[in-house]
């Protein structure tokens, strides 16, 4: 496990009684810095819309800051000036980072058919640590950064379940579930994602942690097609799909609400006796019809998968699903 280059900066000393945003970030960071040093984690959320007047989320990635602002339309794609000023002066007061270390990302209510296209071309990749594991991130070129911080604890749950076992990771993105699982002793992992960019990124995430790709397969394919023909049996399956996705590489549109019964049904067929499936979604509108899976015990594990730095409990939901015959 790679553990060099780990450093969490101390806060600068200044107090500014006039900035509630700075005070809130200061309090959050003080606490997170201690936790980060203890757990070897240097990527976490230091502000999560804690104050109504400042509807922002700010993520710390090893000395860089990713500020998310929320807009409802594509036209309104600049941050509000007062929010921009408040966040810039709070971060400068507390950390004094170079301007280029502060990145702004618009969170626009996505079109139904949004694709995961590139947003820039800087090739600015760098490493962060999560529980001592190295991940490659990029704060400018893509819609997302390479690591979904809100699933930090879900990754730990999956990795523990997969110790000494076989893991299937569907909609794997940059393979972060599989990398953690492999480092915690999974016998074998298979990660499936439609995107060339993200499967390649996933490969690099394994390699940067000195993991062999022999026992960690990465497949670039539409998960729905993959599931139709897959015959290998797994002990743990994680399914964390996007809400909606469309790509030239697949037929039609993937819609979590329409497609989840197939994903879970087919996943259950690939489970070994005693196996477990974790399903998760960020969709707020999603409804889980448990009556579709009467032969299963379904536990809502959302609460224990929300990390300490995420103050919005609705960031995602997650369920652990066991075939009932295995529980008897
Ligand atoms: C929300 S991310 C998944 C996050 C990932 N599970 C993680 O924890 O890092 C969505 C991913 O799904 C992939 N994707 C979208 N539609 C797909 C499909 N039909 N089959 C396979 N992958 C798909 C995208 O390429 C993207 O990497």
- 35 in Cβ contact with 19 (< 8 Å): no
DSSP 132-190: TEEEEEESSSBSS-SS-GGGHHHHHHHHHHTTTSEEEEES-TTTHHHHHHHHTT-SEEE
Q: Residue 322: CB within 6 Å of ligand 1?
A: no
| 126, part of any domain | no
* 143 CA distance to ligand 1 middle (Å): 12
- pLDDT (0 to 100) of residue 21: 96
Q: Residue 227: CB within 6 Å of ligand 1?
A: no
Q: Residue 184: CB within 6 Å of ligand 1?
A: no
Ligand 1 atom at shortest distance from the alpha carbon of 154: 8
Name, in order, each residue with C-beta under 8 angstroms of 238's C-beta and a sequence gap of 6 or more.
154, 158, 167, 168, 169, 170, 177, 277, 278, 280
| 128, part of any domain | no
* 185 CA distance to ligand 1 middle (Å): 24
Q: Residue whose CA is closest, atom 12 of ligand 1?
A: 171
* 51 CA distance to ligand 1 middle (Å): 32
Residue 80 belongs to domain spanning: 20-108
CATH code: domain of residue 222: 3.40.50.150
User: What average pLDDT does the chain have?
Assistant: 92
Sort 19 into a burial class: Cβ within 10 Å, 0-12 / 13-18 / 19+: middle
| 4, part of any domain | no
- pLDDT (0 to 100) of residue 205: 98
Say yes or no: 233 and 301 in one domain.
yes
* DSSP category for residue 258: H
Give pLDDT tens digits for 94-148. 999 999 999 999 887 655 444 455 677 777 899 999 999 999 999 999 889 999 9
| 133, part of any domain | no
- CA 196, 319, 293, 242 dihedral sign is negative
Pocket test for ligand 1, best of 136, 190, 242 (most atoms within 8 A of CB): 242
Say yes or no: 232 and 298 in one domain.
yes
C-alpha dihedral (279, 283, 285, 291), degrees to nearest 10: -10
Q: For the chain, how many structural domains are there in total?
A: 2
Question: Where a domain ends, among 82, 108, 134?
Answer: 108
Say yes or no: 83 and 230 in one domain.
no
| 298, part of any domain | yes
Say yes or no: 191 and 240 in one domain.
yes
Say yes or no: 101 and 177 in one domain.
no
Give pLDDT tens digits for 164-199. 999 999 999 999 999 999 999 999 999 999 999 999
Say yes or no: 187 and 303 in one domain.
yes
Say yes or no: 102 and 229 in one domain.
no
Say yes or no: 47 and 183 in one domain.
no
- pLDDT (0 to 100) of residue 112: 46
| 89, part of any domain | yes
Question: Where a domain ends, among 86, 108, 130?
Answer: 108
- 192 in Cβ contact with 213 (< 8 Å): no
Say yes or no: 197 and 102 in one domain.
no
Q: Residue 148: CB within 6 Å of ligand 1?
A: yes
Whole-angstrom CA distances from 265 to 174, 281, 326 are 25, 16, 16
Q: Residue 280: CB within 6 Å of ligand 1?
A: no
Say yes or no: 165 and 217 in one domain.
yes
| 116, part of any domain | no
The Cα 159–Cα 294 span in angstroms is: 27
Residue 148: which of 164, 124, 128 has the closest Cα? 128
Say yes or no: 229 and 82 in one domain.
no
The Cα 27–Cα 42 span in angstroms is: 17
Name, in order, each residue with C-beta under 8 angstroms of 288's C-beta and a sequence gap of 6 or more.
260, 298, 317, 319
| 71, part of any domain | yes
Give pLDDT tens digits for 21-43. 999 999 999 999 999 999 999 99
Kind and range of the H or E run holding 272: strand 271-281
Q: Residue 42: CB within 6 Å of ligand 1?
A: no
Asked if pLDDT for residue 5 goes beyond 90, the answer is no
Pocket test for ligand 1, best of 173, 190, 251 (most atoms within 8 A of CB): 173
CATH code: domain of residue 47: 3.30.750.80
Q: Residue 195: CB within 6 Å of ligand 1?
A: yes
């Amino acid at each position: 496990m790679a553990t060099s280059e780990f450093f969490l900066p101390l806060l600068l000393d200044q107090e500014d009684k006039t900035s509630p945003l700075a005070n809130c970030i200061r309090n959050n960071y003080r606490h997170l810095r201690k936790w980060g040093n203890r757990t070897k984690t240097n990527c976490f959320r230091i502000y999560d819309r804690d104050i109504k007047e400042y509807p922002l989320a700010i993520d710390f990635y090893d000395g860089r800051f990713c500020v998310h602002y929320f807009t409802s339309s594509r036209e309104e794609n600049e941050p509000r000036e007062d929010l921009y000023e408040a966040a810039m002066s709070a971060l400068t007061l507390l950390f004094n980072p170079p301007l280029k270390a502060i990145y702004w990302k618009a969170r626009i209510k996505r079109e139904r058919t949004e694709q995961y296209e590139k947003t820039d071309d800087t090739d600015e990749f760098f490493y962060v640590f999560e529980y001592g594991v190295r991940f490659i991130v990029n704060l400018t070129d893509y819609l997302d950064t390479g690591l979904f911080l809100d699933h930090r604890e879900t990754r730990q749950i999956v990795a523990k379940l997969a110790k000494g076992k076989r893991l299937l990771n569907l909609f794997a993105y940059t393979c972060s579930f599989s990398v953690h699982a492999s480092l915690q002793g999974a016998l074998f992992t298979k990660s499936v994602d439609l995107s060339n960019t993200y499967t390649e990124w996933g490969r690099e995430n394994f390699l940067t942690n000195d993991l062999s790709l022999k026992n960690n397969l990465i497949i670039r394919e539409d998960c729905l097609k993959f599931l139709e023909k897959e015959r290998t049996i797994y002990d743990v399956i994680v399914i964390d799909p996007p809400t909606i996705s469309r790509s030239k590489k697949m037929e039609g549109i993937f819609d979590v609400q329409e497609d989840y019964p197939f994903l879970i049904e087919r996943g259950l067929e690939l489970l070994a006796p005693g196996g477990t499936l974790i399903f998760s979604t960020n969709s707020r509108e999603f409804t889980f019809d448990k009556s579709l899976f009467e032969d299963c015990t379904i536990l809502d594990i959302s609460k224990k998968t929300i990390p300490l730095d995420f103050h919005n409990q609705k960031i995602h939901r997650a369920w652990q699903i066991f075939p009932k015959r295995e529980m008897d």
